[in-house]
């Protein structure tokens, strides 16, 4: 295989890996409504099917580094693709709760392995000049995978609507079952392509060298390097390995502890960057975007168009980041990106501050009615809004929104926002099934300090029932514009550079295991934010949450601007040597 063809194969692997990761993340959203309608599963079981991906991902992320060192990078790539491919028939042929959970856990394990091994493999195989472009392509195709999953869901929703117009309830139910199974079947081709590509790839040259196969490492390097570049990197690998052996063989010298500064500093930098990536609030802003825009002043249709705009901004500006990452450098993009994120988040927070200052809590008016019928829908129309406000002595013309924050024992949940001027809106359902986790595993991720057994019998408590005036559509579009700016700055900077930071900063000796630990911390941060987002927004408002995200991003900016070294155009060994010199 020529150098050009091998480079294309690496870029294809990167793209397919990102696409598969994005499909892993996004495919359930389109299938869930039809699964809910036809499976006969309760809300707790459905929530665990959704959460099973997280559980599988956390487990595989934890062991991915050890597996990459033990099996090799290529076998783990193959295993990642095989797990995803195996998950599709398990889910699509499933009849019952157990197979669905198993299939979703297999998808989660695939995603966890992919998140570690694809950036790791690319960092070790691509040359310094191409590493940013290749790893950035992983993120770009990840966003495309999410868009592809959404398009698949939209296609089936249109088909379901066509069948619904026929007026045959039995036929509609049958088609909905075919729909969720079909959605998963359509996600199979990317998995098969990735698996085929992984089988045809060669092992990472750095893994080969560290496992006593320098000739094979030399051959692999020549696939993407000139002879001079190959000799330089091979010599750097040899020097790094020799230095490690010399330190290990010198009984009078310092022990090569993993707690040495040359390991700890890059590891901590990578961990801070990954954690800060989540504390920008990106996942919550994407996941709750429609709800945010509804509260910002847009109608339901406008909010859905706003969400489409956000995903397109994410996809298109990621291309800009991929183009710039090897030209301008990682440090520059992370610094500019995080600075822009801070400004955008503050703008959104200030916009929400204007309306949320007028919130009214009608908790007491709803507590008695909700406690008497805890699983009934709370209707919210103009008459009900006026009555609830009058009970508190407030009089306010115009439409408003209602959000209910409620709890059973130590577990708290929040409803989505519903507008009083939306005649098609369903009532807000306050139920134990949507609040209390179905089992101890999900309960631990929701609140590790809560008593699950007590929550299953605890009385309903309405913590807050907040009525907020709906601002104008102009206010809503200003909010949307600020969110588009947030998404653009995130995609150009942190979105593209986070995977590079994860793979480039880690020294060779701890790269695989360090990446696993850092990515696990990333999952923990993501889970924690997801758990507190709705309750915090319900109790304190969107403004508070966006100001919190902006404060966390200040830490990101300081880290990128003052502590992160520029790694553009440097080999992995040169980056490692730089941290060794810093350690003295």
Residue-level pLDDT at 120 = 82
Residues 79 and 197 placed together within one structural domain of the fold: yes
Residues 124 and 271 placed together within one structural domain of the fold: no
Q: Is the pLDDT of residue 255 over 60?
A: no
Q: List, as one string, the DSSP characters of 133-159.
A: HHHHHHHHHHHHHHHHHHHHHHHHHHH
- Write down how long the chain is: 584
| Residue that terminates a domain, selected from 206, 231, 266 | 206
The reply to whether 304 falls in a domain is: yes
Q: SS3 for 304-323, per residue?
A: HHHHHHHHHHHHHHHHHHHH
The reply to whether 346 falls in a domain is: yes
pLDDT band at residue 376 using 50, 70 and 90 as cut-offs: low
C-beta of residue 502 within 8 angstroms of C-beta of residue 274: yes
Domain containing 263: what range?
Answer: 257-356+473-584
Q: Is the pLDDT of residue 584 over 60?
A: no
Residues 23 and 89 placed together within one structural domain of the fold: yes
Q: Is the pLDDT of residue 577 over 80?
A: no
The reply to whether 324 falls in a domain is: yes
Residues 412 and 342 placed together within one structural domain of the fold: no
CATH number at residue 123: 1.20.1250.20
Residues 268 and 336 placed together within one structural domain of the fold: yes
Residues 46 and 8 placed together within one structural domain of the fold: yes
* CA dihedral sign of residues 443, 278, 68, 7: positive
Residue-level pLDDT at 480 = 93
The reply to whether 56 falls in a domain is: yes
Residues 161 and 292 placed together within one structural domain of the fold: no
Count: domains in the chain: 3
More confident residue, 260 or 499: 499
Interval 1-28 mean pLDDT: 74
Residues 465 and 482 placed together within one structural domain of the fold: no
The reply to whether 322 falls in a domain is: yes
Residues 33 and 65 placed together within one structural domain of the fold: yes
Rounded Cα distance between 299 and 451, Å, is 40
The pLDDT tens digits for 99-148 are: 998 998 899 899 888 888 888 888 788 777 777 777 777 778 877 887 77
pLDDT band at residue 251 using 50, 70 and 90 as cut-offs: low
The reply to whether 461 falls in a domain is: yes
Residues 465 and 552 placed together within one structural domain of the fold: no
The reply to whether 226 falls in a domain is: no
C-beta of residue 95 within 8 angstroms of C-beta of residue 175: no
Rounded Cα distance between 231 and 44, Å, is 58
Interval 62-77 mean pLDDT: 88
Residues 331 and 375 placed together within one structural domain of the fold: no
The pLDDT tens digits for 526-565 are: 777 776 776 777 778 889 999 999 999 999 999 988 988 8
Q: Which of 116, 25, 105 is nearest to 64 (CA)?
A: 116
| Residue that terminates a domain, selected from 144, 174, 206 | 206
The pLDDT tens digits for 400-411 are: 888 888 888 888
The reply to whether 236 falls in a domain is: no
Residues 18 and 53 placed together within one structural domain of the fold: yes
């Amino acid at each position: 295989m020529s150098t050009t063809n091998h480079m294309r194969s690496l870029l294809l692997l990167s793209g397919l890996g990102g696409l598969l990761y994005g499909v892993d993340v996004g495919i359930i959203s389109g299938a869930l409504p039809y699964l809910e309608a036809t499976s006969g599963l309760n809300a707790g079981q459905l929530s665990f099917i959704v959460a099973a991906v997280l559980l599988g991902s956390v487990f595989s992320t934890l062991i991915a580094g050890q597996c990459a060192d033990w099996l090799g990078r290529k076998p783990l790539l193959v295993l990642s693709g095989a797990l995803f491919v195996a998950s599709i028939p398990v889910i699509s042929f499933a009849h019952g709760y157990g197979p669905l959970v198993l299939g979703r856990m297999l998808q989660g394990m695939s995603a966890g392995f992919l998140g570690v091994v694809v950036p790791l493999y690319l960092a070790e195989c691509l040359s310094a000049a191409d590493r940013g472009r290749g790893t950035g392509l992983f993120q770009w195709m990840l966003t495309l995978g999410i868009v592809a999953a959404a398009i698949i869901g939209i296609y089936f929703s249109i088909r379901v609507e066509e069948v619904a117009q026929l007026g045959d309830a039995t036929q509609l139910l049958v088609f909905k079952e075919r729909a969720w199974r079909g959605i998963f079947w359509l996600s199979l081709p990317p998995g098969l392509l990735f698996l085929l590509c992984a089988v045809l790839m060669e092992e990472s040259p750095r893994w080969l060298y560290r496992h006593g196969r320098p000739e094979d490492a030399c051959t692999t390097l020549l696939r993407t390097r000139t002879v001079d570049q190959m000799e330089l990197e091979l010599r750097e690998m040899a020097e790094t390995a020799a230095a490690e052996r010399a330190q290990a063989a010198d009984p009078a010298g310092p022990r090569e502890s993993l707690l040495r500064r040359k390991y700890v500093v890059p590891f901590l930098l990578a961990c801070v960057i990954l954690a800060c990536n989540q504390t920008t609030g990106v996942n919550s802003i994407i996941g709750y975007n429609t709800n945010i825009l509804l509260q910002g002043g847009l109608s339901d249709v406008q909010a859905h168009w706003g969400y489409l705009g956000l995903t397109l901004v994410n996809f298109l500006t990621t291309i800009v980041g991929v183009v710039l990452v090897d030209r301008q450098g990682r440090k520059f993009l992370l610094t500019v990106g995080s600075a822009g994120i801070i400004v955008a988040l503050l703008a959104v927070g200030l916009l929400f501050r204007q309306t949320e200052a007028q919130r009214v809590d009608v908790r007491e008016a709803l507590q008695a009615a909700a406690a008497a019928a805890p699983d009934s829908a709370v209707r919210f129309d103009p008459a009900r809004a006026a009555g609830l406000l009058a009970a508190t002595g407030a009089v306010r013309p115009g439409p408003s929104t209602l959000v209910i924050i409620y709890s059973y024992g130590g577990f708290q949940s929040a409803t989505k926002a519903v507008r009083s001027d939306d005649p098609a809106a369903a009532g807000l359902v306050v139920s134990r099934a949507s609040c209390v986790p179905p089992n101890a595993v999900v309960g631990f991720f929701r609140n590790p300090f809560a008593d699950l057994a007590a929550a299953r019998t605890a009385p309903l408590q309405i913590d807050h029932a907040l009525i907020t005036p709906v601002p104008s559509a102009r206010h809503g579009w200003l909010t949307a514009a600020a969110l588009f700016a947030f998404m653009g700055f995130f995609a150009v900077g942190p979105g593209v550079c986070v995977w590079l930071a994860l793979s480039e900063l880690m020294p060779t000796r701890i790269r695989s295991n360090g990446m696993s630990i850092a990515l696990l911390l990333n999952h923990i941060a993501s889970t924690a934010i997801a758990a507190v987002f709705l309750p915090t927004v319900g109790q304190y408002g969107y403004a508070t949450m966006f100001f919190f995200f902006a404060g966390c991003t200040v830490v990101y900016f300081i880290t990128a601007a003052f502590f992160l070294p520029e790694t553009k155009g440097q080999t992995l060994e040169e980056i490692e040597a730089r941290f060794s010199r810093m350690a003295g």
